[in-house]
Amino acid sequence: MSDLQHTRVGIVGLGLMGGSLALALRGHVPYLLGVDRQPATRQAALRDGIVDEAVEALTPDAPPVDLLVLATPVRAILDTLTRLPALRPDGCAVLDLGSTKRAVVAAMSALPERFPAIGGHPMCGKETAGLAAAAADLYRGQTFVLCPLPDAPPAAEQLARQLIAAIGARPVVLDAARHDATVAAVSHLPYLLAGALMRGAADERLWAISASGFRDTARLAGSDPRMMLDILLTNREAVLDALREAETELAAVRDALADGDEAALAEWLSAAQVAYAAYRRFKSGEHLLPGAQT
Amino acid sequence: MSDLQHTRVGIVGLGLMGGSLALALRGHVPYLLGVDRQPATRQAALRDGIVDEAVEALTPDAPPVDLLVLATPVRAILDTLTRLPALRPDGCAVLDLGSTKRAVVAAMSALPERFPAIGGHPMCGKETAGLAAAAADLYRGQTFVLCPLPDAPPAAEQLARQLIAAIGARPVVLDAARHDATVAAVSHLPYLLAGALMRGAADERLWAISASGFRDTARLAGSDPRMMLDILLTNREAVLDALREAETELAAVRDALADGDEAALAEWLSAAQVAYAAYRRFKSGEHLLPGAQT
């Protein structure tokens, strides 16, 4: 496997994640191919010099690349992986940026040997989608999860680590199943809680009185619903587990409040604050960890 | 009723809200009395020149004031209001900063005529409690809800409006019951959702992979549990209504996901995003409203 500085890179999906990756890779790779269905996105990417060439779809005729980064919603990633042997007969290394990893790693494991592949999930984003929201520093200092394929040779991981270093992120290797259970709890559940809040508060008269607490708790409800649909459908069991746990917690505090059980209510509130304080201490110390970038 | 510039002000509770009010009122009033149970808080307030005098409790011997601002948790406000005729035999104007208003306004309505009173709720805060977190600009540009007593003379409202203008906030008059239902939906429910999230994610292995989405959705879980206990217990019915609505939303998305009902799931997610986008548009236009301060 060649060094990143000699690696021609193709990015499928020039949205927030793919576009930011292209911006962050400028100067680190000799060639960038953008693949995006939207003509306006391709035009903008070429006009702004974000990619060297742009094509509508990955076809056998599209320019050759050494590394293909799949930056579309998860089910489009799965579809591309299935068709990859026909689309790229000569093979190439493959990395994805999908938000769930079990289904992606399973599909990667089914690829022929000429496709050294690894699952990836950068733990960053914005609630604004699209190339217009892309930023060269989106990945800087952020955790970038890698999910290697079982029994895979190290080539794909070595190249992915070079890419992660080039964009200033921090690699964390995680088993795909463990990754999916974790993001269900810390990403997909918060999204659903924000959505439930926003759906129940779809009323201007409420917004006039709302302040920063509502704003922050509701923020994830602005996420791209198409991306979230794929995430939820490809991480169904883990999300259902996390949802059931949250519903149990809400039922407990509702019962305590309905019963006027002040002791139970105080315990519920205090445990939440204690956990939050421990989380904040953990995060404030995280920049001291080996390998962390600030 | 005298002008604010001739009004001696007492603030009961020198925490985040009371302390910030004292800082914001400097130069606008001739005298500030601080009332706080904690010796360390009184010492800090005197040392930093935040108040002119500080006492442990409101007693008949404490220095006279023209306006008393109650800035403690709600049930302590209710207790003070009950004892006020004995504590301040000569009477004074009364404003509170409590987070729920129905019980407070009812207690104010029971006061003798020499206590012109009005309920108040500044829609700002931090998840950090205490005088150390107080800031002179906490109220600047923020909504300050006023809940006048039914059939009350205008004296208390006039003085409260002067105070709100002095600290740079924006007054909004609201019926107490309407206020309580609104804050249940936009403040108390988000707090409980954040608490449920944090209680279910009290695990360092999850925090290592968490990013800004988790951080923002969990933030309110750091709120002072003693303050929140009072809020929930004095706004029980409205909070239970808001909780039940959120639980219904979560059950709906869980059913759609469990059934693999992609159309229902897509509708749920899209409606949340549409509502969020409308909320953001509303908020970005709010500084254009008459009376808004930026």
- Tell me: the pLDDT tens digits for A193-247? 999 999 999 999 999 999 999 999 999 999 999 999 999 999 999 999 999 999 9
Please indicate if any CB of chain B lies within 8 Å of the CB of A130.
Answer: no
Mean pLDDT of B160-184: 97
Q: Is the pLDDT of residue A123 over 50?
A: yes
Please indicate if any CB of chain A lies within 8 Å of the CB of B201.
Answer: yes
* A120-124, A289-293, B116-120: range with lowest mean pLDDT: A289-293
Q: Nearest Cα to B187, choosing from B229, B231, B135? A: B231
Percent of chain B predicted with pLDDT > 90: 92
Q: Is the pLDDT of residue B180 over 90?
A: yes
Return the domain boundaries, chain A. Answer: 7-174, 179-287
Please indicate whether, in this complex, the C-beta atoms of B213 and A220 are within 8 angstroms of each other: yes
Q: Nearest Cα to A149, choosing from A96, A109, A104? A: A109
Q: Is A121 helix (H, G, I), strand (E, B) or coil?
A: strand
- Tell me: the pLDDT tens digits for A281-293? 999 987 555 444 3
Mean pLDDT of A136-158: 94
- This model of the complex carries an ipTM of 0.89
B 235-294 residues with CB below 8 A of A?
236, 239-240, 242-247, 249-251, 253-254, 257-258, 260, 262, 265-266, 268-273, 275-280, 282-283, 286
Percent of chain A predicted with pLDDT > 70: 96
Q: Chain A closest CA to B57's CA: distance in Å?
A: 25
Confidence of residue B125 (pLDDT cuts 50, 70, 90): confident
Q: Is the pLDDT of residue A145 over 70?
A: yes
- A-B CB pairs within 8 A amount to 300
For A145-183, the three-class secondary structure string (H helix, E strand, C coil) is: EEEECCCCCCHHHHHHHHHHHHCCCEEEECCHHHHHHHH
How many CA atoms are closer than 13 Å to the CA of A265, on its beta-carbon side? 21
* pLDDT score recorded for residue B13: 98
Domain range B7-178, CATH class: alpha beta
- Tell me: the pLDDT tens digits for A164-175? 999 999 999 999
Does this model's pTM top 0.80? My answer is yes
Superfamily of domain A179-287: 6-phosphogluconate dehydrogenase C-terminal like domain (1.10.3660.10)
Percent of chain B predicted with pLDDT > 70: 96
How many CA atoms are closer than 13 Å to the CA of A40, on its beta-carbon side? 4
Q: Is the pLDDT of residue A69 over 90?
A: yes
**Nearest-angstrom CA–CA distance, B201 and A190:** 11
Q: Chain A closest CA to B270's CA: distance in Å?
A: 6
End-to-end CA distance of chain A: 29
* pLDDT score recorded for residue B293: 38
Q: For all residues of chain B together, what is the average pLDDT?
A: 94
**Nearest-angstrom CA–CA distance, B230 and A97:** 45
Please indicate if any CB of chain B lies within 8 Å of the CB of A206.
Answer: yes
Q: For all residues of chain A together, what is the average pLDDT?
A: 94
Write down the CATH number for the domain with range A7-174: 3.40.50.720
Q: Token match 């040997």: residue?
A: A113
Q: Is the pLDDT of residue B204 over 90?
A: yes
Q: Is the pLDDT of residue B287 over 70?
A: no
Pair type for strands B143-148 and B117-122: antiparallel
Please indicate whether, in this complex, the C-beta atoms of B217 and A262 are within 8 angstroms of each other: no
Smallest CA–CA distance from A214 into chain B, residue: B186
CATH 3.40.640.10 fits B182-285, yes or no: no
Please indicate if any CB of chain A lies within 8 Å of the CB of B213.
Answer: yes
Please indicate whether, in this complex, the C-beta atoms of B207 and A282 are within 8 angstroms of each other: yes
Q: Nearest Cα to B68, choosing from B53, B81, B49? A: B81
For chain B, the three-class secondary structure string (H helix, E strand, C coil) is: CCCHHHCEEEEECCCHHHHHHHHHHCCCCCEEEEECCCHHHHHHHHHCCCCCEEECCCCCCCCCCCEEEECCCHHHHHHHHHHHHHHCCCCCEEEECCCCCHHHHHHHHCCCCCCCEEEEEECCCCCCCCHHHCCCCCCCCCEEEEEECCCCCCHHHHHHHHHHHHCCCEEEECCHHHHHHHHHHHHHHHHHHHHHHHHHCCCHHHHCCCCHHHHHHHHHHHCCHHHHHHHHHCCHHHHHHHHHHHHHHHHHHHHHHHCCCHHHHHHHHHHHHHHHHHHHHHHHHHHHCCCCCC
Please indicate whether, in this complex, the C-beta atoms of B197 and A215 are within 8 angstroms of each other: no
**Nearest-angstrom CA–CA distance, B10 and B32:** 6
Please indicate whether, in this complex, the C-beta atoms of A229 and B125 are within 8 angstroms of each other: no
Alpha-carbon torsion (A4, A93, A100, B260), positive or negative = positive
